[in-house]
Amino acid sequence: MISVLRWFTGTLFDPSSETRTTAPLEAIALRTLGLVYLTVFIVDTVNSTPQPSLHGRGLAVLLATIALVAAAIGTQPRRENVPTGRRVAFLIAVAVATAVLAAVQPKGIWEAGPYFVGIMAALRLDRRSGVLTLAFTIILLLVVSAVVRHGGGVPSVLLGAVPWFLLMRVMRALRDQRDELAVSRASEAQAAAAAERGRLAREMHDVLAHSLSALALQLETTRLLARKRGVDGEVTHALDNAHHLAATGLEEARRAIATERGDELPGPERIGLLADAFGEQSGLPIAIEVNGEPRELAPEARLAMYRTAQEALTNVRRHATPERVEVRLDYLPESTVLVVEDHVPAGTPPPVVLGSMANGYGLTGMRERAELLGGHLLAAPTGDGFRVELRLPT
């Protein structure tokens, strides 16, 4: 008799729900078992006396069976937005249909009803609503038993539903505790990660930013001294570039520190500044083209676009001898595409593979960042230079 109840609970554990109470394989097994017991329930009801029909007591059996199955299916979804009143109504419908079957088909399989109500009331309703729903079911079936003189089997079935209700309440409490523990652990992990980012940001500020600041100040002093003493113009220009690089590095370090502390991340709107700085430092012509309607990107996507452009331009300056550079940003319907391409004079040796000589972000870092965001990065030589293309989904 208890086993018959299992068809009602075949979809009790929903593998598609956000919080799973069993493995997907076990959930499939439960669903399969539920289908088997549903078949057993229907077959037993059809073969019991009186049999379902379109007249007399058989019609009552037919309608009660249809109502019971429909109401039982209605209680299955675990979605949180299902109103409690609707769940209660479904379970009340199960109880009423069970009472009708108990009255007109006492030799049938109606005993599964109170077990189902007890289990589903425990799992789908709050404590108060669950207790009241189960109490209504018990009282209703006891009244029916007294009216139709059903015998002593009804009280034992009803009393058996109470332990099932309590057992399911305990299981639900354990499940809720597990979920709360998982949330607590996730929060602790996030807090630990935030604390570590804060520590790294402080270390970067105390070491790297201070060092770059001192370097920029020293280069500025050296540059002014060189000009004052009439040093060769090429040396002065080199000192100017070195000072600019140090100042830019200091700005980037401060921006990285701000990023780790949760400030706004740099994005595509700053690529123009990168291009301007590249043109000033390298003396090469650089063209920027933006196609499509600019849109707001996710924070990590913004940072990926900016870092990729930054690294690509840095590698052009380090490893290539181009005559011009092109930067293109395309806002397509399903993706955002960044292209950085350099063009070298005819007869120039093939360029060094991007990132192979870089100790910083490099090709590997750019590709990993793109893949984490569901995109991809292409970096390869062209007929007259080198091309880096970052494509991120919208």
Residue 248: the pLDDT is 73
Residue 376: the pLDDT is 92
Measured CA to CA in angstroms, residue 311 lies from 75, 100, 200, 279, 336 at distances of 56, 76, 22, 15, 18
Residue 332: the pLDDT is 92
Residue 3: the pLDDT is 38
Residue burial 100-133, b: 16+ Cβ < 10 Å; e: rest:
bbbbbbbebbbbbbbbbbbbbbbbbbeeebbeeb
Q: Block means of pLDDT (10 residues each) for the chain, length 394 residues?
A: 40 40 58 71 78 78 79 65 81 86 79 82 87 88 76 64 87 86 86 74 64 76 80 79 75 66 71 86 87 87 88 80 89 92 76 44 78 90 89 90
Residues across the chain: 394
Angle CA(67)–CA(69)–CA(73) in degrees, nearest 5? Answer: 115
* CATH number of the domain located at residue range(s) 266-394 in this protein: 3.30.565.10
Q: Which amino acid is at 116?
A: F
Q: Which residue's structure tokens are 């630990």?
A: 192
Q: Which amino acid is at 241?
A: N
Q: Which amino acid is at 334?
A: E
Distance linking the first and last C-alpha atoms of the chain: 55
pTM of the predicted protein model: 0.45
Pairing of strands 324-331, 286-291: parallel
Measured CA to CA in angstroms, residue 324 lies from 112, 238, 257, 286, 387 at distances of 80, 21, 33, 6, 13
Domain segments of the chain as ranges: 3-151, 266-394
Residue 247: the pLDDT is 75
